[in-house]
Amino acid sequence: MSKALFFRRNGALYTSIQGAKEMPAGRVRFCSMSTERCVVLCSLFFTVFSNNRFWQAWSAGHDWAAAETWLLAAVMAVLLTAVHSLLLGLVVTRRTAKPLLSAVFAVTALAAYYMNHYTVFFDASMVRNVFHTDFKEAHELLSMGMLGAVLTYGVLPSLVLWRAQFTQRSLFRAVTARLVFLLGTVAVGSIAIMIAFQDLSALMRNQKELRYLITPADFIVSTLKVALAERDEGHTARVPVGLDARSANVSSNGKPRLLVVVVGETARAANWGLNGYVRQTTPQLAATGVINFSHVTSCGTNTEVSVPCMFSPFGRKSYDEKKIRRHESVLHVLEHGGIKTLWRDNQSGCKGVCDGLETQRPEDTHDPLLCKGEHCFDEVLLKDLASELQTRRRDIVIVLHQLGNHGPSYSHRYPGSYRRFTPTCENADLGKCLREEIVNSYDNAILYTDHFLAETIRQLQSQQTHNAAMIYVSDHGESLGEKGIYLHGLPYAIAPREQTEVPMVMWLSQDFAAASRIDVDCMRKRASQPASHDNLFHSLLGMMGVSTAVYDAAFDLTSTCRL
């Protein structure tokens, strides 16, 4: 049995415990343990308190009145604890345990909160999205509920952790103990899998999404994947695409071509008035007679996936994230062909699509009429557009990247004059609003996008320097409470249609259509057929008359409607 001796030194009372350092009696540590025991206790905490969504999804197909269910639940708990113990055991040391585990507690509390409230899954694409979210976007997700979750499940366990004292061992003993521990977690996990193999195999077949709900294991693995991928991307130059691109001079009136590409944000097809939604959320576009593509699917369910993908030659049809991020975009191909490109951003950047090309952030003008607080309304993208065209009398493609319907603060995406559908949700914490209020705010934001697009068309009609056209397509959709799911970002394989079906419209001036030999009536018929983000790359090349080996007419929306 350990002995505790108390003595005075320089007037202070000290305690000495066999095998422990001397310390003031008033500062005796909460407990003494090995690092491995600490890892197991933390893993058990995560199993019990951080996996609400997992346990809900797992228990949905089980009868809790049956003893077998309780046995399986116990086995699953052991398996989850073993998995987290293995992951943490690979990185936690005596010196790093407290800061590292405290960080894991805090991030896990955040992840669990958003998973519980919005059914967000933290796969690699969502983790990358989080990494690249700027402060202006992130601060809108802060709420009192989130703060309470972080204090309860992040700060409190960290305070307990920092009171612990870890046993000191020689290097040999420490390495030996850690190897035994890791092998033990593998053995325990393997036994748990064998006991519940039938149940687990059924889960993997029928509920593949469950693996995305294991917290913090899923986001730890996803974070490592993203960190390694971004390290490689940072040291690798983009592979050139379409160096053979050549642009044909198709103008019959001596004017250069102008194609405005509007990249929407979080607009879903289900609430798009032109698609037959019960509300007319696109009255101004309906009056302009735009070509509306009614069956369009996105490449991803978040901006980090969709934006690079839609401008890539690979697209969803040949989806390979590494290839997409390592190769140049269609904007680079256009530049190779002698066509100027310009990216104007009211969002969190072009996600690599415009690397090395000209970009602008009109919000930097701080226009008091358009910019309030952290964000600007999308009309800031049109500021000084006419003067830009006056100085660029050449073929040009301009991309306008909207803030659009970026959630959860939908009510902040439009001026007060577009608050048509009421009552609205004025709180970033959607859990404090009725679903009707959330939908009303979302639809008001669609109304403002309708105005923004119509205003873009009006400006293109009024300018006299270019033959002009416009394409609008949203990057992904949004869930508004269907099946308890909010926001976006679910893994594509299990994402609901609300997150993958997006609106898309095209407007062609008579001069542009004539110069490009595009039959507008034919395009209206084509618009009723299925389309996707995969069409954007080739349609931009086709509309701008660019010939290159990477162009595929089968994916050009206009190819079958050329005169």
Same domain, 276 and 392: yes
Give pLDDT, residue 137: 66
**Residue given tokens 């197991």 in the structure block:** 40
Same domain, 52 and 29: no
Q: Is 451 left (phi over 0), alpha (psi -120 to 50) or beta?
A: alpha
What is the average per-residue pLDDT within 221-250? 83
Calculate the alpha carbon distances from 352 to 188, 298, 347, 348, 528 in Å. Answer: 44, 18, 13, 11, 32
What is the average per-residue pLDDT within 84-94? 94
- For the four alpha carbons of 158, 22, 14 and 31, in that order, the dihedral sign comes to positive
Q: Flag whether 250 is in a domain.
A: no
CATH number at residue 325: 3.40.720.10
pLDDT in tens, 102-123: 999 999 999 898 888 887 777 7
- For the four alpha carbons of 101, 102, 105 and 108, in that order, the dihedral sign comes to negative
Q: Transcribe 378-406 into DSSP letters.
A: GGGGGTTHHHHHHT--S-EEEEEE--TT-
Same domain, 200 and 271: no
Q: Flag whether 246 is in a domain.
A: no
Same domain, 72 and 200: yes
Q: Flag whether 251 is in a domain.
A: no
Which amino acid does the sequence have at 58? W
Q: How confident is the model at residue 26 (pLDDT cuts 50, 70, 90)?
A: very low
Structural domain including 211 reads 34-232
Whether residue 204 has pLDDT greater than 80: no
Give pLDDT, residue 47: 95
| Pairing label, strands 164-166, 31-33 | parallel
Same domain, 3 and 43: no
Model pTM score: 0.82
Compute the mean pLDDT over every residue in the chain, rounded to the nearest whole number.
89
d(CA 424, CA 406): 16
Domain boundary residue among 232, 267, 288?
Answer: 232
d(CA 280, CA 300): 27
Q: Flag whether 10 is in a domain.
A: yes
Q: Flag whether 244 is in a domain.
A: no
Give pLDDT, residue 497: 96
Same domain, 124 and 9: no
DSSP E strand boundaries for 230-385 = 246-247, 257-264, 291-297, 340-345, 359-360, 371-372, 375-376
Same domain, 62 and 28: no
pLDDT in tens, 488-537: 988 898 899 999 999 999 999 999 999 999 999 999 999 999 999 999 99
Same domain, 329 and 203: no
d(CA 190, CA 180): 15
Give pLDDT, residue 235: 61
**Residue given tokens 């191909």 in the structure block:** 333
Domain boundary residue among 179, 214, 232?
Answer: 232
- For the four alpha carbons of 368, 371, 372 and 377, in that order, the dihedral sign comes to positive
Give pLDDT, residue 371: 86
Same domain, 499 and 447: yes
Calculate the alpha carbon distances from 529 to 217, 225, 523, 558 in Å. Answer: 42, 37, 10, 12
Number of domains in the chain: 3
Give pLDDT, residue 191: 93
Q: Flag whether 239 is in a domain.
A: no
Q: Transcribe 262-277 into DSSP letters.
A: EEE-S--GGG-GGGT-
Which is more confident, 277 or 136?
277
Q: How confident is the model at residue 20 (pLDDT cuts 50, 70, 90)?
A: very low
Which is more confident, 427 or 533?
533
Give the rounded percent of residues in the chain with a pLDDT score beyond 70.
91
Whether residue 307 has pLDDT greater than 60: yes
Tokens (6 digits) for 434: 């009725």
pLDDT in tens, 130-166: 777 766 666 677 778 888 999 999 999 999 999 999 9
Same domain, 468 and 549: yes
Cα distance between the two ends of the chain:
94
d(CA 399, CA 397): 7
What is the average per-residue pLDDT within 360-379? 82
What is the average per-residue pLDDT within 389-403? 94
Same domain, 203 and 265: no
Lowest mean pLDDT among 225-234, 259-268, 544-553: 225-234
Kind and range of the H or E run holding 547: strand 546-547
Domain boundary residue among 188, 215, 232?
Answer: 232
d(CA 489, CA 483): 15
Q: Flag whether 86 is in a domain.
A: yes
Q: Flag whether 15 is in a domain.
A: yes
User: Are 440 and 424 a contacting pair, CB within 8 Å?
Assistant: yes
Give the rounded percent of residues in the chain with a pLDDT score beyond 90.
65
d(CA 383, CA 370): 10
CA 46, 48, 52: angle at the middle one, nearest 5? 90
**Residue given tokens 């009429």 in the structure block:** 369
d(CA 237, CA 2): 61
Lowest mean pLDDT among 107-116, 311-320, 337-346: 107-116
Helix, coil or strand: residue 108: helix
Same domain, 500 and 441: yes
